[in-house]
Amino acid sequence: MEKNSKQLYSTYTSLMQKAADLNYASAVLGWDLEVYMPPKGAEARARQLATLATQAHEILTSNELGRLLEELSASDLDDTEKNNVRLSREDYEKNKKLPSSFVDELSRQTSECFNAWVEARKKNDFGIFAPSLSKMIALKRKQAELYGYSAHPYDALLDEYEKGATVALLDPIFSGIRQQLPPILEQIKDAKQVDNSFFYQHFPKQKQWDFSIDVLKGMGFDFEAGRQDYSEHPFTTSFAATDVRVTTRVDEHNYQSMLWSCIHEGGHGLYEQGLPEDQYGLPLGSPASLGIHESQSRFWENCIGRGLDFWKFFYPKLQMLFPEQLAKVTAEDFFKAANKVDPSLIRTEADEVTYHFHVMIRYEIEKELILGTLDPMDLPAKWKEMYNKYLGVSAADDKTGVLQDVHWSHGSFGYFPTYTLGSFYAAQFYAQAQKDIDGLLPKVANGELTGLLHWLREKVHVHGRRYTSEELCTQITGKGLDPAYFLDYVKDKYRAVYGVNS
């Protein structure tokens, strides 16, 4: 009996790892597609990705796996094994709902849609993207039907990225944003404004790159187990905990473009590198959820990277690299500029307050697109209307408006809300880290980030998918997600930056 369980579990592991091999191979092809692939390679790459996805899906929905999981559920397993089997079984039930032909179609459409988005961005013309996007939305609607849902079809898609998240849960959070953030914005608007004009001088590409590598090293990113490359849109992908790729982009006339995305992706990368290697291909070797993933990137980008202490250490180095550009800028000026609040058009360059309006707009639009109450052709108009209403800004063109994000071209509907969840979790974790780690901020100011990384490894990374986002949050902080932490964090920060006192 004991021996039989071991054999069953080992067969289960082999199957899961075979599927993982195929999925990680897809990740390599996807990385190359966005980083190095020449344009004419797109068509063949699309079919190769479709085949890999189909092959992996066949394994993950095979009757063999189903039977194994059923038998294993009744077997004598240790705690780690039990959790893997439990989570795999949940995935299996979900995967079985998508026929291979649908997975294949979705993969092809994703490649086509991504290429259309690249082309549309290049030509600054949403019309080029719209037909592909419409097909994608139809597929996502079909996916929601295949998964099934009780209240809202969008719930079925949300669950893909954040297990348990629903419209019923998120609506209050986003309405909270619509209610509680505007007063803070108003106060800031009336305060003495922050000057961040020095960011928009000329910062040569190579030096920006060099500093980004130094920052990633300082954070603890292991370059023996990962690398950074350029891409149109920064992203993180993993081919194993031992091979994690982050990408970045450079705007020589806007230093912020690279800086924050680099720290952000670095946070994602550290999470992937911290997943347990011996759980390769298994649930406990995979990230908990997108919300938790995003909590790691935002923890580093916002709580640490936009904090004064971080720059006490890194700013003198930056100043040495760009003596002309930064001669008259102090570390405190730099900190304030890094936190300038200014309603703007581009989500990825938004400050920490207005950011959540960007997410809220996409959330509301996605719900409508999936419900079918908004025609994709009307997206640019809807986009302008909402940006005007909530942020008081208006995109001059599609590239800085509705075409700015890659997500929809990837078919990632239900993904954006995890950004806001990530910020909220990050703020709550950050408050806890300051309690748990003696003298955290002085250490940060000294460039000593190892203890912090160790804390994140132990509290978050090492658990993989063992706990849900809410369980993990409770385990780390003693309670589930509480938006009050984010509000407090924001108020503290803007007291320091703008002298406002809410």
Residues that bind a second copy (CB under 8 A): 17-18, 21-22, 24-26, 28-29, 32, 36-41, 43-45, 47-48, 50-52, 55, 222-227, 229, 239-240, 242-243, 280
- Catalytic member of 265, 272, 294, 301: 265
Q: Among residues 143, 165, 140, which one has the least CA distance to residue 155?
A: 165
Q: Among residues 265, 307, 292, which one has the least CA distance to residue 456?
A: 292
What tokens does 243 get? 């091979």
Q: Among residues 314, 224, 208, 335, which one has the least CA distance to residue 269?
A: 224
Contact 200/254 with Cβ under 8 angstroms?
Answer: yes
Residue 70 among the catalytic residues: no
Report in angstroms how near the CB of residue 53 gets to a second copy at its nearest. Answer: 10
Strand partners, 226: 244
3-state secondary structure of 38: coil
β 226-230/244-248 pair status:
parallel
Q: Which is nearer to a second copy, 271 or 467 (CB)?
A: 271
Report in angstroms how near the CB of residue 278 gets to a second copy at its nearest. Answer: 12
Report in angstroms how near the CB of residue 450 gets to a second copy at its nearest. Answer: 19
Q: Which is nearer to a second copy, 227 or 317 (CB)?
A: 227
Q: Which is nearer to a second copy, 229 or 385 (CB)?
A: 229
Non-local CB neighbours of 75 within 8 Å, separated by 6+ positions: 4, 5, 8, 9
Report in angstroms how near the CB of residue 42 gets to a second copy at its nearest. Answer: 8
Q: Which is nearer to a second copy, 269 or 305 (CB)?
A: 269
3-state secondary structure of 187: helix
For the chain, the 3-state helix, strand and coil shares in percent, each to the nearest 5, are 70, 5, 25
Report in angstroms how near the CB of residue 136 gets to a second copy at its nearest. Answer: 22
| Residue 446 CB neighbour total at 10 angstroms | 12
Distance from CA of residue 284 to its chain's centroid? 19
Q: Which is nearer to a second copy, 51 or 502 (CB)?
A: 51
Residues that are catalytic:
265
